[in-house]
Structure 1
Amino acid sequence: MKKLLMVGLAVVLLTSCNKQEKRYTQNSPEIDTYKKVMDDYKTLNWEDYPTHYADTAKIANNVVEEKALTVSQAIEKSKEDAAMFSWVVEKEEYEMVMTDEEETWVNFWGIWKGTMKSTNKEYVIPFHSTARFVDGKIVEEFGYWDNSEIVSDLLQMEQESASATSNSISE
């Protein structure tokens, strides 16, 4: 009886120790891909950047999903930003999670330090982005950061420029 109890206990222990799929990690092929995306962004490598995305991928940075951009549109927006700013990205952290719905997401946190070329003013902005992967490609991406200081400064520059134009016309 004692042996039967021990065998039963051993079976219960062994079956309860089934290997479960990783639901969280900081090392994965998807994270490696997302690191390449960030490297392409930091080096303005717009040729390789889209190779990490599915053809139908949508990128929603600081907008709702319905206003998401295609990868080509997001690249054009980044090119416009690169004309106004030089930047670096620091303190990068990555993680991959598997949701209850079996979706694979890579999360990124970093510090964006950008210098506006026209004013030489530096902005330091924490940001977060998250990308969903299917078959090794990004199918959707969301980015979040507070760019209100930049927007405020651009509006002020625009008002000062309009005021200077108005003053020169009235002279």
Structure 2
Amino acid sequence: MKKLLLPLAIVALVAYACQQGPVRYTQNSPEIDTIKKLISNYNAKNFDASMFADTSKTYYNTKDNPMSAEEAMTYHKENDNNYASRGFLSDHQEYEMVLTDDGESWVNCWLDWKGTLKANGKEVVIPIHLTYQFVDGKIVREYGYWDPTEIVLTLQQLEAEAVKTEQEETE
């Protein structure tokens, strides 16, 4: 019996060591599908917050002052006033889901966004990184990072020109 116990223990140890844990990285998951739907909704100007948890927090180009999902949708609607057209381009989209050492599920995506300013027809293309944390199939955190400099400077220039024109007309 003792002779049989050692080989059984070795087989059990090998079987335990060979068991694969959860997938830590993938490019196909229900969470990625959720983000693709969210991007599609954004492009269609369908501002649906149902993919977000009630307590979700959204951070755009900041780590402070989070927005709720509804506030983020309002942010997008208000920004739409500046554009004749806008949306994420379908080329070169990259998505990945990562399960962290702490057991957190995150979806990262790298996209190109294109907008045409309503005021002057200027087209702007901006690379954007978005990352989303999921809990129980819902987004609980969203972080977005991009360089808005070209748009901000153009809008400031247009505003300055409008003010100058208005001042000249009242003189």
Matches within 5 A, 1:52-131: 52-64=51-63, 66-85=64-83, 86-90=85-89, 91-131=92-132
- Matches of 2:20 and 2:118 in 1, distance apart? 53
Matches within 5 A, 1:3-22: 13-22=14-23
Alignment match, 1:143: 144
- Matches of 1:55 and 1:115 in 2, distance apart? 33
Report the count of equivalent residues. Answer: 165
Letter in 2 for 1:37: L
Identity of aligned residues (%): 43
CA deviation profile, 1:12-59 (whole Å, cap 9, x unmatched): 54332111111111111111111111111111112xx20100011111
- Matches of 2:114 and 2:169 in 1, distance apart? 36
- Matches of 2:14 and 2:68 in 1, distance apart? 50
Letter in 2 for 1:135: D
**How much has 1:92 moved relative to structure 2?**
1.5
- Matches of 1:23 and 1:130 in 2, distance apart? 16
Letter in 1 for 2:150: E
- Matches of 1:104 and 1:76 in 2, distance apart? 26
The answer for unaligned runs of 5 or more in structure 2 is: none
**How much has 1:6 moved relative to structure 2?**
8.3
**How much has 1:78 moved relative to structure 2?**
0.6
Give TM-score, length-normalised by structure 1.
0.88
SS in 1 for 2:132: strand
The answer to whether the 8 Å contact 2:42/2:87 transfers is: no
Alignment match, 1:39: 40
**How much has 1:10 moved relative to structure 2?**
5.5
Alpha-carbon RMSD across the aligned residues, in angstroms, is 1.9
SS in 2 for 1:31: helix
CA deviation profile, 1:89-135 (whole Å, cap 9, x unmatched): 12221110011111110101100011112211100000001010000
Give TM-score, length-normalised by structure 2.
0.88
The answer for unaligned runs of 5 or more in structure 1 is: none
